[in-house]
Structure formats: C-alpha cells, structure tokens
Amino acid sequence: MQLNSLLQHISYKSLQGNKELFIKDISYHSQKVTQSSLFVCIKGQKTDGHDYVQQALEKGASAVVVEERTLLSAGGKNLLYTKTGSIRIEDIIHNYGAAVVVVQDGRIALAELSAAFFDFPAKKMKMIGITGTKGKTTTAFLVAGILREAGYRPGMIGTIWIDNGRETTPAEHTTPESCDLQRYLAEMVENGCDCCVMEVSSQGIKLNRTFGIWFDIGVFLNIEPDHIGAGEHASFLEYLYCKSRLLQQCTLGIVNWDEPKLSKILRGHTCRIESFSRRGEAAGSVLAAAERTFFYMVKGKLYSCVKARLKGESFTFQLQLPGMFNVSNALAAIAVASHFDVATEQMERALVKQVVPGRCENVGISEKFVFLIDYAHNEMSLRSLLETLREFKPRRLVVIFGCGGNRSKLRRNRMGETAGHLADFTILTSDNPRWENPEEILDDIEEGIRGTGGAYVRIADRAEAAAYAVKQARQGDIIVLAGKGHEGYQEICGVKYPMSERELIENAEK
C-alpha cells in the first residue's frame, strides 16, 4: 500500500519526503521494524518511540510518523528532538530515503493507520466490546461459548488469550495496542470469523487502542476503584470516564442495572441502552433478569442454578461458575446473545459446560477438600469471590493471595481487610512483585488484615504457601489460591519466570 493512500485516512500536520513510498508493514516497536515498513512513534509509560527513530530507520523503515511536540526549527532546519540528541528531518529524507509524517497524537494516528493498513477488519464482523472492573474475561468466554454453540464463528481478544478463529496465543495485555489489535482482527476475518468478542480495558480506552473501532454491542458490567495510581489512572473519576467511553462508540449498550454508579456511566452515552439484572424485582426494566438462584456442590464441583427471564419469558440455566457475580456475567452474556439467532436451549447447553481458565477453576487433588484457582486481584473481586464461596458453607474458607508490585498500596490494605473479615484463615504470599520487595508488599497487606483480628500467616514463596495450605487442609475446607489465575509466570524485576498455579497445587499435593 502506498503511503499517500494510508494518509487519506488520518489528519496530519505535514508530510516531508516521497509520499508514494510503498509500505509493506506497520509497527510501533523499533525491534519489530522490517524493510519498507511504517514506524509510528508513540509515548509509553517507560519509553518514547521518538527515541528509537534512528534504530527504526537503520532496520529499513521507509517512513516515520512523529508527534508535532517533538519538532523544533533551528537555523532554518527542522529538528526531531530525542533523549539522545536531535536528528535533522532532511537527513532522514536524504540519507535514508524515508518520509516523515507529523501528527498531533501518535496513538490516534497509529490506530487510524493500522485500521486502514489492514483494510478495516472491524467493519467485516459483528463487534462485541465488554468492559467492567471485574467479570470481563468470564463474560467474554460465556458470550463466545453461546455463539459457538449456535453455529457462529467468534474470535476473541482478552486477558487470557487471543483466539483468531484458527489458534489461540497468550495475551500480553487485556486490550492490545491498536496496531496488534487490528492485525488480530484481520486474522479473524481471514480465518472466517463472523464476530469478535473483545475485552475492553479502561487503559485500552485511555490509550486510544480501540480508537476508530465501532462496536455493534458494548457491555458495561460494574465499576469500583481500581487501576488508580502511577502509570494507570490519575483518579477514580478518570477511571470511570474511560469506562463510560465505550458507550460512546457502540450502537447498542447493554448495562448492569444493579450497578450503583450506573447513572454516572450513562452520562454522555450516545447509544441505545438495554440492561440486565440479577435482582428479579428489576425485571420489568431490563432485558434479562434472575428470578431465583441457588448454589450446590456435586463431587467437589461448585454449581449455580438460575431461574431467569429473557424478554419476559422464563427459562433455567446452570453454571459451573459459582456465585452471584457470575450470575450477572451470565445474564450479560444472555442479553448479548439475544441479539443473535440463538435459542434459549442453545444458551442453556453452552452455559452449563463453559469453564474459564483461572476463574474459580477447580483443581481436583482431593476428595476431602476443594482447591480452587481464581484471578481475583483487587478488593472488589476478592470480596465477591469470598462471599460467593461462603454460600457453600465450607468447614473453613482458606484464601492464599498477595498483591502486585508497582500498584496502589491502598488496594493492598483493602484486600487484607477483606480477607480478614471474610476468610477463616489467610495465607499472605507473593504475587507479581515486579520491581518491589515482596516483603514490603506483604507489610502493606498485613497492615490491612491486622485490624480485623482474622487469623493469618505470611509465607512469601508462593509454592511454599500452596504446600502449607494442602498440609493444613481439613475435611470440608474450600481453599482458593487467588490473584494470578491463568497467568503462567511470576514477574520479578522485569523478568517473567515460568510458574503455573495448577502445577503449584498439584506439586504441593505430592
């Protein structure tokens, strides 16, 4: 594709150099630049793409996109300023035969250019975007499972993996960078997918990763303070605003009628609104609602059984995913599926067999107690998880968890308080310490749990913590290892070391 053809789809300040250069690929990472590719500079939390223009050119980039803020004129020459010094624009043009495109916002330009380069794949599928503090992954799996049961071919993008309709690959971010996102969508179209179910994170919206994608259906699940701090959101108001933006880039918004802050989420929405509720009394105002729910256990597996209404008609479904929050997730999925050609019988069959990696996942190592893996990694999700497991009346409810490094300390305190109030016994351990000292993270959690009077121990090594839980387990206990779920690594000082939660538990049993 020629550069000038791509530039027809964006607003740009200026173009210097040959506008008819042929572009073979598009990239925002200098290490991934290939011959005749377009390199788009974006600013990240730790690095700025403008500092790597020289490397991109040396690797064969035929054009670079830079932000206006990085350019200054001196002595009649235009200069690109980077942390290693300045580069003359005319040198880029004459020495490398490259073109320079100047834009206001590199991230928006990357999103628009990527969509155009991959021929606007989002327009060729039904797009379903799901946002919320918790439940995005489970709801996405449920929606995709129902649609697959009904004969559709959904692709999926989310926290656990990318499913392009032919294969799955582990995900690095809940919502990929716009260039990667458009590439995945193009693969789905090529592989015959007719719809895409996508988790839309607040960071993905804030960083314009989904810019330019129009969703046929946008789903809002819930919101509580999270992802607030350095490198994330400056405040809860910003977090809330980013979540609400999904309802400004979709045709139909399906929202949780039970969410206390729903009115704030709906401010400024531009889409048609429908809703779902797990409270039967709200059924007159919503599309899908639960009338009656009960939980039970069979051979160490936890189930939810729900009598529900969809568009006023009653039906019953079961889940291998316990808890009222998963009832909400299922109702959201049912509401989405009702806009496709799906029978309630197909919904029922899909829901009862759907499991989600790392979400209340049962590791069957013993007949005398239940050991679960769950991704709960903030106060809201941990509270919901523990309240749910209480419904099954275990002899003891034991939780093992830690908190990620380089994240809010308030989150750690609150998670400690939550565990102290709701669990019978807590084992504090390491999660992803990242660049922090694991023991200092445990100090922050302990500060929260200490005031509750709840029983606990500290075992920083996660494998040792799991082994301790198995050794101390009693008949009728429910034990949950929370925080990492599907993740197959532990991140320490910038390195991701292989680590499987399931293997930790299975090895502990030996």
pLDDT digits (tens, 9 = 90+) for 365-384: 888 899 999 999 889 889 98
Helix axes 438-450, 409-422, angle to 10 degrees: 50
Q: What is the pLDDT of residue 76?
A: 61
What average pLDDT does this structure show over 216-224?
Answer: 95
User: pLDDT: is 336 or 384 the higher one?
Assistant: 336
User: Which pLDDT score, from 0 to 100, does residue 204 have?
Assistant: 94
User: Strand, coil or helix: what is 400?
Assistant: strand
What are the residues whose beta carbons fall under 8 Å from the beta carbon of 413, sequence distance 6 or more?
444, 445, 447, 448
Asked if pLDDT for residue 510 goes beyond 70, the answer is no
pLDDT at 29 over 70: yes
User: What domains lie within the chain, and their CATH numbers?
Assistant: 3-106 (3.40.1390.10), 118-353 (3.40.1190.10), 361-509 (3.90.190.20)
CA distance 337 to 358: 24
Q: What is residue 97's DSSP assignment?
A: -
Considering only residues 83 and 434, tell me which one the structure prediction assigns the higher pLDDT.
434
- Tokens for 119, please give them: 């021929």
Please tell me the least confidently modeled range out of 15-19, 290-294, 298-302, 421-425. Answer: 298-302
The pLDDT assigned to 300 comes to: 72
Each residue of 28-55: b (16+ CB within 10 Å) or e? bbbeebeeebbbbbbbeeeeebbbbbbe
A 10 A CB-CB count for 20 gives 10
**pLDDT, tens only, 408-420:** 888 899 999 999 9
Is 154 in contact with 133 (CB distance < 8 Å)? no
Neighbouring C-alpha atoms within 13 Å toward the C-beta of 266: 15
Q: pLDDT tens for residues 260-297?
A: 999 999 999 999 999 999 987 655 578 999 999 998 87
pLDDT at site 233: 72
Q: Give the pLDDT of residue 231.
A: 65
Pick the more confident residue, 224 or 223.
223
CA distance 326 to 318: 11
What are the tokens at 228?
A: 């607030």
Written as six digits, the tokens of 409 are 């300390």
pLDDT tens column, 93-128: 999 999 999 999 999 999 999 999 999 999 999 999
Please give the pLDDT value at position 284: 59
- Tell me how far apart the terminal alpha carbons of the chain are, to the nearest angstrom: 58
> Is it the case that residue 303 has pLDDT exceeding 70?
yes
* DSSP assignment string, 143-177: HHHHHHHTT--EEEESSSEEE-SS-EEE-SSSS--
Judged by average pLDDT, the poorest of 154-163, 172-181, 376-385 is 376-385
- Measured between alpha carbons, how far is 141 from 138 in angstroms, rounded to an integer? 5
Helix boundaries (H) for 97-248:
106-117, 136-149, 178-190, 202-206, 236-244
**What SS3 state is found at 137?**
helix
User: Is the CB of residue 71 less than 8 Å from the CB of residue 78?
Assistant: yes
pLDDT at 196: 98
Amino acid letter at 358?
Answer: G
When the pLDDT of each residue in the chain is averaged and rounded to a whole number, the result is 93
For residue 73, pLDDT beyond 80: no
What is the pLDDT at residue 408?
Answer: 81
pLDDT of 380: 84
The tokens describing 254, both together, are 């399906």
CA dihedral (220, 225, 227, 232) positive or negative? positive
Confidence bin at 312 (pLDDT 50/70/90): confident
pLDDT at 262: 95
**What's residue 470's pLDDT?**
95
pLDDT at residue 234, rounded to an integer: 72
Helices (H), 287-371: 324-337, 344-353
Which of 71-85, 198-212, 381-395, 463-477 is the least confident region?
71-85
Give tens-digit pLDDT for 479-499: 999 999 989 899 999 999 999
